[in-house]
Structure 1
Amino acid sequence: MKKIIAIVFSVFSYSVGMAAILGLMAFLVNACPLFSIDTGTQFFLPWLSNALLIGLFALQHSVMARKGFKTWLTRSVPVHVERSVYVLASGITLIVIMLAWQPMGGMLWQVETPAAKVGLYALYGLGWGILFLSTFLIDHWSLFGLKQAFANLKEDGQHALVPRFVTPFLYKLVRHPMMTGVLILVWASPTMTLGHAYFALLMTLYILFGTRLEEKDLVEEFGGTYKEYQASVPKLLPTVRSKSKAVKGSGVRTAVES
């Protein structure tokens, strides 16, 4: 019965996480009637309150991703639902940000040329495409906690989920392609208001900070293998000179995954 409950919880957490991500897709282009980045009511120091919202997101992601927190958490919850707890917390945090975000007005740029508009929306879609593709390259179902819960139905299921290092496709170009996708999608907008730019800037700062923390964990876990990877592949932006030395295995963790 406990195993079934774990699966139900994991499916629920996955649903909340996906709903939050789909909501963000609409939020950033003002396509959601419930919340958007440029509409709503200002009620309390938007510069400060919006910064606190992104700070909450950064804190939740960074703290819950650390090994020490995971060890502490699994004293209270089974190890096979630890990832689902993270996914649920991430989804809820993202929904809170979208509901509580205050528009800030002001216009930095507004592209009117149809071809340029289409190009920017295409770039926005590319960012999301890179993000989602990256999750499947490193095992989407494990990343969002479903695989762990279903593997628990088997006696040796969790043993098969021990992470190993590999650099599939996009990971040969940059070390954190999910984060590259996020950077693209938060900045690619034909209408860039002050509030949108503020959101994009805060997310960019979080990504720079979060990837540093994650790489410390990866060096600790994979040692020289990851250091060699760092030396041969850029972190976020691909370069012509980058050469990746892939290591056989399955399952590589990144800043978003952990």
Structure 2
Amino acid sequence: MTADAVPPQSARSAPDRLLAVLAAFDHDHPALSLTDISRRAGLSLTTAHRLVGALSDWGALERDASGVYHVGLRLWEVAALSPRGLALRQIALPYLEDLYEATHENVQLAVRDGSEVVYIEWISGRSAVGVHIRVGARWPLHATGVGLALLAHSEAAFQETYSGKPLARFTPHTITDPATLRRVLAEVRRSGVAVSSRQVTDDALSVAAPVRGAGGSVIAAVSVVVPERDAQTPALIPAVRLAARGISRALGWQPEPS
């Protein structure tokens, strides 16, 4: 549910209203006036004022000199405790930097959140292809390399449910056929890498590999994104696999003996 599509105020509990205030902020709306928060959260101005005050006192929101509110540092400090957030980024960063040095292209680290992939780290190549990605950005799983890597290693029931839903199209090359998606996911599991060509933009190709946690389950994915016209996919695959394996080992994963 988006900040612009919320149930009536009277139908929501106090925690729901508090969360609606926080959900009013996103990448397109990082700074909001009290009136903006009230409208986007679907709350009366009086209720919004009370909740914003409580959140500001705690440090979840901060008010600048012009009276506009921003997400506060206290909320960032709490978010940093997430094992799929900053903690994972810190462990993965040396391997992402190595992957960047090997390719000088865009390098990404992402996790799955429901039916979407969320990017938690991104290193931009100096002369790399432009991508519609930033830290915190979300994309449907089927449309990106990291998303395909994560989807392919998710629960079988979730894969089937996801494949059966309408699949958003971004270019003529985006996978929108359920049978095709199932075949692609099977190939990702067989090969250990996901290759996504021109699915989000017509000029980009990504190669992604899964990252495993200590228990062996896939918890993230790492990828490199290159210009499609210059892509040397076979040469990229070992580098991406090496980065994913390094992160996995740093997280405590031990591969089974051959």
TM-score, normalised to structure 2, is 0.24
The structure with the largest strand share of the pair is: 2
**Which has the higher relative contact order, 1 or 2, with Cα contacts under 8 A spaced 6 or more apart?**
1
TM-score, normalised to structure 1, is 0.24
